[in-house]
Amino acid sequence: MTGTPIANEIRRLRFEHGEMTQQALADACQVTRQTIIALEAERYAPSLELAFRIARTFRVGVEDVFRWAA
């Protein structure tokens, strides 16, 4: 579970969206705050569904949030 080749821009996007809190993003995506914490630390690769939920919350494409970093 530790380390994933999928990098993300969640922290930056939260900041750009009115300093959205991790809890607010978690609520919007119907996941726990622990999952947002793990995603930001790049310790967890989300399911496709969650990736789309996050991208939709920020009104961007999935590829604008996640990228293959290996």
Partner 1 sequence: MPVDHLQADVQAFGERYARGAALGAAGLSMWTLITGVIEPSPFPLMSVAGVLMLSHWFRRRALADAERRRGVLEDERDAVFLAQGDRAFRCVASAWAVGLAVALAFPASRTLLLDVHLRLPGTLLLGVIVANLAAHAAVALAYAHSRR
Residues that bind partner 1 (CB under 8 A): 1-2, 11, 14-15, 19-23, 26-27, 30-35, 37-38, 40-41, 43-44, 46-47, 49-50
- Number of neighbouring beta carbons within 10 Å of residue 69: 10
Q: Cα(45)–Cα(35) distance, rounded to whole angstroms?
A: 10
Q: Which is nearer to partner 1, 35 or 60 (CB)?
A: 35
Local structure of residue 42 (DSSP, 8 states): T
For the bound state, the minimum distance from the C-beta of residue 5 to partner 1, rounded and expressed in Å, comes to 16
Task: Give the number of residues written for the chain.
Answer: 70
For the bound state, the minimum distance from the C-beta of residue 40 to partner 1, rounded and expressed in Å, comes to 6
